[in-house]
Every structure is written in C-alpha cells, then in structure tokens.
Structure 1
C-alpha cells in the first residue's frame, strides 16, 4: 500500500496495490496491523455504505462529538466522489483549512480522516456508492455539521452551488465562524 500525506498531514490518501492479469485484479484493501503501524492506531467498529443516485449530491460536512467522534476510512465502490476533510480542531495550525481527493473504483484510493475533522463529499457520476469504515458508532445526540459551501473555508467543489443536491439538514448547517468549539488540537 502506498501512503500520501495531503496538505493537512493527518489526512492520508492510501492507494492499495493491485495485482492484475487478463482476468482482472486482486487487491488487499485493509490490513489492521499495517494500518495501525503506518496510519493510526485505531479500531474500526462499523462499516457503512451509501448510494447517491444523482450527480451533484453533497453529503456533509459532518462530524460527531466525543465520546462518539469518528475517524473514517472512505473508498468509492461505484461512480466517483470528490471527498473533503476540514480541520475543526481549535488551536490547530491548519484550523479551518480543507483538503480533498477524487475517489473512484478505478484509482482505488482511500482517504483516512481522523476525528477532529468535518467530512463530506460531492458525487461526480450517477449511482455513486461509497463504503467507509468508522471508529465509533453513529450517535444522533452527538451528530453535528458544518455548512458545505462556507466561503470562509473556500472549498473548491467541482460542482456549482445551484447544482448541489442537499438534505434539509445540510442546507442549514452553521458556518465555521458560528461553530462552537468541538475539538482541541
């Protein structure tokens, strides 16, 4: 597996090796000991899968508060996404900054987003399916969000604002300037 640290070094892109021939390919997608030694010493407790039917579907930016703060390992099984993490750790030198990566079945890339970051994605193709491992279960009482297109963050989404398909919840998330402190660096 190949590791690439992004502009925010805690966010890591992982590209599993593929071994192929005329029949297709084989790839080890996750190895617990390797992940603990090379990325983060965490335990994943749940796998989640989501389908987004339309291009321009935006999910996020989401996070959960302690004690249910989640690290996420995200990969795309079908279609394509632009996956984003925003640093919301108060006191961090990269507070309010974002990084993004395109995840597709063809590139096989996975994105590791530790707790302390808001996460979201936009679909680039129809019928996009993502799978992500999480380090804590979902908790409605601890579920929070950040406005996906906050100009102070300035995420360069590959879709126009008017094309974004959002849940009612994601349309009214707070801006970073109005977000109560959620994590410390």
Structure 2
C-alpha cells in the first residue's frame, strides 16, 4: 500500500507544480467590498468601522476551547444521528454537527444578540466578508486567531474563505 501512496503524492505534487496551484493576489492589489453600515446584514463583521476587532470575536477567542468542544460534540452527535440514512447521511450529519457546534459557540459568547451589539458592520455575503477582511486586516498579527473565531460562529465561512480570495484574484496580474 505504501508503494502506491508515495507515488500518488509525488504525482499530485508534480501536477500542481505543472498546472500551477491557485494563486491569491496580494491584499494591496485587491479592492475590498464596502460593508453594510449597521447589523442588518446576514453576517456580523469581525471588525468594527474604526478597525478594531469586534467584541464578539474577542470573546470567541477567549472561549475558543468551549467552541471547539461544542463543535466536536455537535459533529459526533450529528453524524451518529444520520448514520442510518443511506447515501446522504454523512453530508447531513456534518451539516447537523456544524449547526450544533455553532450553537455551542454562540451560547459560549452570549448569543446572536451579543454578536449584533458588539459590531457596527455586517455583510450579506461570505465572499464579501472574506475579501474585506483579507484586504484590510490580513497583516494583523492575530489574523489567524480572528479567522478561527469567525469560523466558530460561521462554520460555512471556513469553506468560503479561500475560494472567495481565489475568485477575486483571478483577474489580477
């Protein structure tokens, strides 16, 4: 088995080198979307209009361990509940786990009301939020921690983040 695995990894690396891995433009070469003033958007901004980390992100970073435990427990419970459903059980179990994990993270930081009260910007699109954060704040030394805190509250943001940056970078030389 190892003899097959090693060449497969080497072949994959060669293909990425030949075709070129997706590139992300420097933040300075991209234009950030304008956030919604206020909290009427679907997603609360991790940063406020004055450029500081929103209170919900700070609190989320403080209770990160609780959010991870909630996410793991939620994933496990969701997967167990959905094991009996043929074909789509794994997918639905993951979604149920994400929802339960998000609920645990929300509870740990004070709920949706706290999130909305601790920021003054929002977005209707995860792609817009990803690009806004990358362009304006990716040089922040705590950027990865801020991303992780955001992922705890918006699990779907984790899968949307990189594709959003790649799409925005596609037209940039």
User: Normalized against structure 1, the TM-score is what?
Assistant: 0.25
Of Structure 1 and Structure 2, the greater helix share is in 2
Of Structure 1 and Structure 2, the greater strand share is in 1
If asked which structure has higher relative contact order (CA below 8 Å, sep 6+), I would say 2
Work out which of the two has the higher radius of gyration on C-alpha atoms and give 1 or 2: 2
